[in-house]
């Protein structure tokens, strides 16, 4: 296990973002691919004024992982198809799949600093851009340019589909929302028992099912068997990371918190994992502080 200790500073209270892959790439001077699960082994937060600091990440659930993998496959397919149509063109040496965490995640996440608070010069860290293959056409026959957009893991899309009044289309597409809208949801609609209209019972309307039915008990049992458990034990299209409730914070998972005070200015940060190494840091009631994290540089593929 190789561990990198990184120090981040915050000037005031607010919501900040850390891209561990970008931070490690800058500090360790080699590309750390983002599409991995990064492990924060622990750390501390120091603040003289007393603050509460929350650490939020994308939910570590299979739908979120699957949506990221789907976006990754489409990104690779776009590059492969484009390069196959050219002669001798290659992608950049450090080209990599990079996504945002949510709608609030900007282009300038916090970067590690040295003991005196100074950061080193930045390299190139571009979040992936996808471009639609076919230009859109409005009902009036107006052809629009292909839609280009970046990707985020959770939350709703930014922008709307292309139209004559909105030629720019989407600015960011949510991987989780896109995955939910593109798949067949588990539903009991196709497996619902047929209605036995002759007797008004919700049973399988096949005469063989009632071959040995000498009374109503089998009808009652069949109604229980076919109606109990015919829906999944979760909402079909409402999940952590794609919650229907308003507010960006509903889309993230709280993975650690720390609280300091005037008498105890240093608080320990419990370890956690972050999909794609993306962490939202919410600092409250503070005029500034420093965060030190021990991060396993070997991410886990998913």
The domain ranges of the chain are 3-128+242-296, 195-227
The residue whose two tokens read 């080209």 is 95
* Residue whose C-alpha is closest to residue 71's, from 7, 130, 30, 28: 130
pLDDT of residue 251: 87
Residues in the chain, overall count: 302
H or E element, residue 258: strand 253-259
- Tens digits of residue pLDDT in 165-213: 555 678 899 999 999 888 765 554 444 545 544 455 544 545 555 555 5
Roughly how many angstroms between the first and final C-alpha of the chain, as a whole number?
18
Q: Are 77 and 84 in contact (CB under 8 A)?
A: no
Phi and psi dihedrals of 208, rounded to 5?
A: -70, -25
pLDDT of residue 214: 58
Rounded distance between C-alpha atoms, residue 290 and residue 117, angstroms:
9
Rounded distance between C-alpha atoms, residue 59 and residue 54, angstroms:
15
The encoded tokens of residue 83 equal: 């390069």
Half-sphere exposure of 292 (CA within 13 A, CB side): 12
The encoded tokens of residue 247 equal: 């507010």
Q: What pTM did the predictor assign?
A: 0.81
The angle at the Cα of 135, spanning 129 to 76, to the nearest 5 degrees, equals: 35
The angle at the Cα of 237, spanning 234 to 242, to the nearest 5 degrees, equals: 105
Confidence of residue 161 (pLDDT cuts 50, 70, 90): low
SS3 of residue 122 by DSSP: coil
- Tens digits of residue pLDDT in 13-50: 999 999 999 999 999 999 999 999 999 999 999 998 88
Distances (CA, A) of 130 to 88, 168, 171, 242: 21, 13, 10, 21
Q: Are 21 and 36 in contact (CB under 8 A)?
A: yes
């Amino acid at each position: 296990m190789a561990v990198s200790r990184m120090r981040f500073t915050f000037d005031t209270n607010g919501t900040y973002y850390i891209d561990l892959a970008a931070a490690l790439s800058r500090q360790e001077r080699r590309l750390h691919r983002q599409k991995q699960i990064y492990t924060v082994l622990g750390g501390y937060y120091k603040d003289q004024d007393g603050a509460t600091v929350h650490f939020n990440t994308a939910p570590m659930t299979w739908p979120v992982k699957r949506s990221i993998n789907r976006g990754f496959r489409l990104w690779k397919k776009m590059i492969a198809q484009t390069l196959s149509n050219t002669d001798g063109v290659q992608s950049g040496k450090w080209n990599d799949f990079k996504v945002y965490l949510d709608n609030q995640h900007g282009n300038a996440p916090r970067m590690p600093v040295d003991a005196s608070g100074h950061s080193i010069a930045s390299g190139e860290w571009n979040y992936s851009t996808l471009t639609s293959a076919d230009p859109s056409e409005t009902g009036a026959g107006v052809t629009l340019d292909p839609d280009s957009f970046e990707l985020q893991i959770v939350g709703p899309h930014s922008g709307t589909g292309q139209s004559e009044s909105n030629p720019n289309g989407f600015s960011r597409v949510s991987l989780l929302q896109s995955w939910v809208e593109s798949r067949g949801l588990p539903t009991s609609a196709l497996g619902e028992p047929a209605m036995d209209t002759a007797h008004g019972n919700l049973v399988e309307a096949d005469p063989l099912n009632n071959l040995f039915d000498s009374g109503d008990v089998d009808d009652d049992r069949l109604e229980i068997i076919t109606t109990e458990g015919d829906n999944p034990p979760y909402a079909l299209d409402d999940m952590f990371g794609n919650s229907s409730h308003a507010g960006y914070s509903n889309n993230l998972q709280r993975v650690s918190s720390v609280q300091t005070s005037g008498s105890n200015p240093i608080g320990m940060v419990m370890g956690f994992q972050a999909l794609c190494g993306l962490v939202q840091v919410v600092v409250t009631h503070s005029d500034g502080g420093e965060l030190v994290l021990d991060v396993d540089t070997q991410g886990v593929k998913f």
